[in-house]
Amino acid sequence: KVGDLVVFEYHRTPRRDGQIVIAADYSAGGQLGEFTIKRFKSAPHDWVFTSDNPERPGFRYGRSQTSHPIVGTAVWHLSQDCHIG
């Protein structure tokens, strides 16, 4: 959600399905791609990335297309809805 804070660890191997990651998005066709925050899911032959935001599409890559599309994994999240004190 806009305004939330998320801390990522530079780590290219997610620990479990459903984990939030920073992923390289090559769907626009560029070699460098852009980076986006998505939920990760492992499939037998694919890397699958979905979005919690219905306005942002997910994407998938065959494991043969790219070996390391993940740049970091989320390790901490603070929501703006969280009230302290």
| Per-residue pLDDT tens digits of the chain, which is 85 residues long | 677 788 888 876 777 899 999 998 876 665 666 888 999 998 899 989 999 888 988 998 888 887 778 889 988 877 766 544 4
Query: What local confidence, expressed as pLDDT, does residue 29 receive?
Result: 62
Query: What local confidence, expressed as pLDDT, does residue 39 receive?
Result: 93
* Beta-strand pair 34-42/70-78: unpaired
**Rounded Cα–Cα distance for residues 74 and 12 (Å):** 11
